[in-house]
Amino acid sequence: MGLTSQKLQILVALIAVGCFVATVWIWPRLGRRNWRALLGRVGLLAASQIFTLAAIGLAANNWGAFYSSWNDLLGTDAGNGTPVTINSGVHPSSATQDSQGNSIQVLDSKPVPLKLPDAGKDATGGILQQVTLKGGSTGFSEDAYVYLPPQYGQAAYAHTRFPVILVFTGYPGTPKNLVTRMQYPTVAAQAIQQKQMQPTILVMMRPAVNLPRDTECQDVPGGPQAETFFTRDVQNAVTHEYRAETGGAHWGVIGDSTGGYCALKLTMRHPEAFSAAASLSGYYASAVDSTTGDLFGGSQQLRNENDLMWRLKNLPMPKVSLLVASSLKGEGDYKATVAFAAAAKAPLEVSTLFLPEGGHNFGTWNKETPPALRWLSARIGGPATPGLPAGSLPS
């Protein structure tokens, strides 16, 4: 039986109940003080607890769609890759600040191991920086990681500006998971080395700027201005600190779960900031629960404008490119993803990526990340160097 099978869930629940009944019924007979009675008591208690926990775990997994199969749960069909280790110690450096008060403080910097068998022992995967990014107009200060491709430090690229991909976690999320569990720097470094992706800067952070509140990347009336932070402050700080391209034509955004919704929403609402987005297991309307509170100040119109399906039906199509990813088996957003792609019309471009199976978890997203990054890179272009034709690289 499959991991998400209702029959399996019922069977395990019945066994758990049976173990409980057996424990109550047989326990008086095991009151003797000998090793057989002792083993019997231990066995009954252990079986009762194990099957009770298994029944609860199966019910929780089916509710949350975390794992879609035994392979998914055991990791026997998970994405490959080598984690990049970030030391816990930090080495503060002076922060640079632009005229608007946006700043980036580099706390630590480490090389990214390439880990390709045919790359050669001297090959490098680039640099990973641990930073704090402050937004001048919103006042938010967020932890983040910045990946710089190998070309960024090469003399031939000294006057080159690089495209940027903003990478989101889910909610509540931690940026470190994007490095250690989803391995974005390693995935990008390998794709760049293999000429499958243009040299690109990655900025990795969480979409929640006012924890524990889930702001859903929304400018809340009278509250946190998360949308402004990501579409204005982050870009201004990055382009001031790094040789990064300016303008949405060379910026993309990718995320999973809440981060996927944010990626789509920010791109559809702000094509001047982002020209392409990839959503891994994202949804299409803002969540409303105890973690979000009232995000729209009671305005139904504002709520509608943040409903991506409503936008497709009622507003002009933005000229951007979107990739939506889901799984035929194991993901609750599959039907919504199909409907979203079907509702899109030119000039909006919507591509789809469907896995045969995969739950709402890192194993699924690890499989989707490499093709999603390649897709994004193809739509935001490569590095630009003054005096060279667009798209050409220094020799």
Rounded Cα gap, residues 175 and 84, in angstroms: 13
Rounded Cα gap, residues 237 and 273, in angstroms: 14
CATH number given to 96-380: 3.40.50.1820
Q: Residue 16 phi/psi, 5° resolution? A: -60, -45
The pTM for the full model equals 0.79
pLDDT in tens for each of the 395 residues of the chain?
A: 776 677 888 888 899 898 888 888 888 877 777 877 788 888 888 888 898 888 888 887 665 445 556 665 665 543 333 333 333 333 445 567 777 777 999 999 999 988 788 766 667 899 999 999 999 889 899 999 999 999 999 999 999 999 999 999 999 888 999 999 999 999 999 999 999 999 999 999 999 888 889 999 999 999 999 999 999 999 999 999 999 999 899 999 999 999 999 999 999 999 999 999 999 999 999 988 888 999 999 999 999 999 999 999 999 999 999 999 999 998 888 999 999 999 999 999 999 999 999 988 888 999 999 999 999 999 998 888 665 555 555 65
Q: What is the largest CA-CA distance in the chain?
A: 91
Residue 277 near residue 377 (C-beta atoms within 8 A): no
